[in-house]
């Protein structure tokens, strides 16, 4: 499609060509007075190779989306002249270079998405306080380094995604100034810190991702009596070096995970904000949905929209010790629970059977012992179940749990029953006072055959002796009964 076809439409203010199946051809020539006066322009996934040159002269543009293209260059300096910009989306390109401090001149910016590029270097010092109106900030999957910026009080940030970068040092405590924050993702960086308990004061925080950093130490009980992480529904602190016991005090405070109500069902999203076009007076209400990649059901899954009734806990690949807390059974909204690859001991708590919405349970690679509680067979929504490589024993519950693959149970030499090849025998004495009906019938048979054999032998000898006497006296009985003639 040739972009020149829109030339002459001088009253055109909004153009949306995103996500179609064509290549947009933009001529490099200068624009004239007949060129549209765009305020909103969405050209994502239009096979663009460069920044459209006409943007150099479009100072009135308020919303610009050039994501999902093939732009492989630096962010041009002339973009700093686009003073009206409120939303900028340049994600999923091949942008290079560092961010210029001129980005801080965008005092009205509400959305900045530079994710999935090749940008790097340290962020400008002004980055944390350049816009009091900024709501969405995503620098995901770049090569930014240095410290996470300091955020000033009174900001409107509701989404911060710094995942898959090279940030180091400690997590900035200035994040407590982001009182509207609902989503924080710093996964796959080089952060070295203890558990950021102070994030518990953020009343809107629903998703916290600290995966694959260098967080360490014991997660101690909250230092305040106030409700901690009151709205938290998804937490992933896997692939770190946390140790000590599983933090039961925090688990008891995650009240939102206990809710299973679907009355107000919706998808999690940042607090919507309004975008007003100065030229036309139109008001657009923009909502940015939370998206996430989390490990559930044995693999990493990407969710473009997240239901507000879903709850996920991933504490895997740390150094937690002790027992699995019974209190987890109170989080009835849990969709996925992963405690694998730790040093947990003791038995599997039967309280997990209260998690009727649970679809994924992974407690493999621990030191758990005892039997698999038969109550877990009641988890009818369970689609992924893994207790492999523990020290479990006894028979596998025979209904729902026996339908999973043998790999879910391997590495437990004491386990038996379907789907494993080794069946459960009954040679050992029963644990209960009263045997089962099957065992009872077996015991009765083993004792009764001796009595029957003795009685049968005696009866046979007596019968033979009497029979000879009778036949000798009345030989015609033998003819009538057996058809034998003497």
**Token code pair at residue 282:** 């139109």
Q: Which residue has the tokens 């400690």?
A: 170
26-40, 70-84, 272-286, 311-325 — most confident range: 311-325
State pLDDT tens for residues 94-103.
Answer: 999 999 888 8
Contact call for residues 312 and 233 (beta carbons, < 8 A): yes
- What is the pLDDT, as a whole number, of residue 281? 59
Going by C-alpha positions, the residue among 57, 54, 31, 32 that lies closest to residue 43 is 54
- Lowest average pLDDT, out of 1-10, 36-45, 248-257, 455-464, goes to 455-464
In sequence order, which residues have a C-beta less than 8 Å from that of residue 251 and are 6 or more positions away?
325, 327, 328, 331
Q: What is the mean pLDDT of the chain?
A: 82
Rounded to an integer, the average pLDDT of 258-263 is 69
Inform me whether the pLDDT recorded for 261 exceeds 90. no
Q: What is the pLDDT, as a whole number, of residue 442?
A: 33
Neighbours of 166 (CB within 10 A): 15
pLDDT in tens, 223-244: 665 568 989 999 999 999 999 9
- What's the pLDDT at 129? 82
pLDDT at residue 56 is higher than 70:
yes
- Of 130-139, 266-275, 366-375, 467-476, the range with the highest mean pLDDT is 366-375
State pLDDT tens for residues 187-222: 999 999 999 999 999 999 999 999 999 999 999 887
* Residue 157, helix vs strand vs coil: coil
**With bands split at pLDDT 50, 70 and 90, how would you rate the model's confidence at 285?**
low
pLDDT, residue 104, reads 84
What pLDDT is attached to residue 221?
82
Q: Distance between CA atoms of 361 and 399, rounded to whole angstroms?
A: 17
pLDDT reading at 69 higher than 70:
yes
Predicted pLDDT of residue 286: 61
* CATH class of segment(s) 3-348: alpha beta
The three-state secondary structure class of 198 is helix
pLDDT at residue 444 is higher than 60:
no
Q: What CA–CA distance (Å, rounded) separates 368 from 343?
A: 8
The pLDDT value recorded for residue 284 is 59
* Strand spans (E) along 339-458: 343-344, 360-362, 369-370, 384-386, 391-395, 414-416
Q: Specify the DSSP class assigned to residue 267.
A: B
As a whole number, mean pLDDT of residues 133-162 equals 93
Pair 269, 288: CB distance under 8 Å: yes
Of the candidates 34, 33, 41, 91, the one whose C-alpha atom is nearest the C-alpha of residue 61 is: 41
User: pLDDT for 297-350, tens place per residue?
Assistant: 777 777 666 776 789 999 999 999 999 999 999 999 999 999 999 999 999 999
d(CA 35, CA 29) in angstroms, rounded, equals 12
- pTM equals 0.83
Q: Looking at the predicted structure, is the pLDDT value of residue 410 above 80?
A: yes
Q: Is the pLDDT of residue 119 over 80?
A: yes
Residue 55 has pLDDT above 80, yes or no: yes
List of residues 6+ apart from 330 with CB closer than 8 A: 252, 258, 351, 354
pLDDT at 446 over 80: no
Is residue 74 within 8 A of residue 50, CB to CB? The reply is: no
In whole angstroms, what is the distance from residue 225 CA to residue 354 CA? Answer: 27
pLDDT at 50: 93
Q: CA distances (Å), 40 to each of 17, 62, 85, in order?
A: 11, 6, 9
Q: Please give the Cα distance from 136 to 71 (Å, whole number).
A: 22
């Amino acid at each position: 499609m040739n972009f020149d076809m829109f030339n002459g439409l001088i009253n055109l203010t909004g153009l949306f060509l995103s996500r179609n199946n064509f290549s947009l051809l933009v001529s490099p020539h200068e624009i004239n007075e007949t060129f549209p006066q765009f305020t909103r322009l969405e050209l994502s996934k239009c096979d663009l190779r460069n920044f459209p040159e006409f943007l150099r002269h479009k100072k009135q543009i308020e919303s610009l989306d050039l994501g999902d293209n093939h732009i492989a260059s630096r962010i041009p300096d002339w973009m700093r002249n686009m003073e009206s910009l409120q939303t900028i989306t340049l994600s999923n390109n091949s942008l290079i270079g560092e961010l210029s401090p001129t980005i801080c001149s965008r005092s009205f910016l509400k959305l900045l998405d530079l994710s999935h590029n090749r940008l790097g270097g340290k962020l400008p010092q002004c980055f944390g306080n350049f816009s009091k109106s900024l709501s969405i900030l995503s620098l995901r999957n770049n090569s930014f380094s240095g410290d996470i910026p300091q955020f000033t009080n009174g900001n409107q940030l509701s989404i911060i995604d710094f995942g898959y970068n090279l940030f180091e040092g400690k997590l900035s405590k200035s994040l407590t100034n982001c009182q509207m924050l609902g989503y924080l993702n710093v996964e796959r960086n080089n952060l070295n810190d203890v558990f950021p308990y102070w994030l518990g004061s953020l009343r809107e925080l629903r998703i916290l991702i600290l995966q694959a950093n260098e967080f360490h130490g014991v997660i101690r009980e909250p230092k305040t009596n106030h409700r901690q992480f009151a709205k938290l529904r998804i937490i992933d602190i896997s692939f770190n070096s946390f140790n000590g016991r599983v933090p039961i005090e925090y688990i008891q405070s995650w009240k939102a995970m206990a809710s299973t109500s679907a009355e107000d069902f919706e998808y999690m999203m940042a607090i919507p904000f309004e975008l007003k076009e100065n030229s036309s007076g139109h008001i657009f209400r923009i909502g940015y949905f939370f998206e996430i990649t989390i490990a559930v059901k044995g693999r990493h899954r990407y969710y473009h929209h997240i239901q507000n009734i879903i709850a996920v806990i991933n504490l895997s690949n740390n150094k937690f010790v002790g027992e699995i807390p019974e209190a987890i059974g109170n989080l009835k909204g849990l969709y996925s629970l992963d405690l694998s690859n730790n040093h947990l001991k003791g038995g599997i708590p039967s309280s997990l059977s209260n998690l009727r919405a649970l679809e994924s349970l992974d407690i493999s690679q621990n030191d758990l012992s005892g039997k698999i509680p038969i109550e877990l067979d009641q988890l009818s929504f369970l689609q992924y179940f893994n207790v492999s490589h523990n020290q479990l024993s006894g028979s596998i519950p025979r209904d729902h749990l026996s339908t999973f693959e043998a790999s879910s149970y391997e590495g437990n030499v004491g386990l038996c029953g379907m789907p494993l090849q080794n069946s459960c025998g009954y040679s050992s004495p029963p644990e209960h006072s009263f045997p089962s009906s099957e065992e009872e019938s077996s015991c009765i048979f083993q004792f009764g055959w001796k009595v029957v054999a003795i009685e049968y032998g005696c009866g046979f000898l007596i019968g033979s002796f009497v029979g000879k006497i009778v036949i000798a006296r009345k030989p015609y009985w033998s003819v009538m009964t057996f058809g034998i003639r003497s």
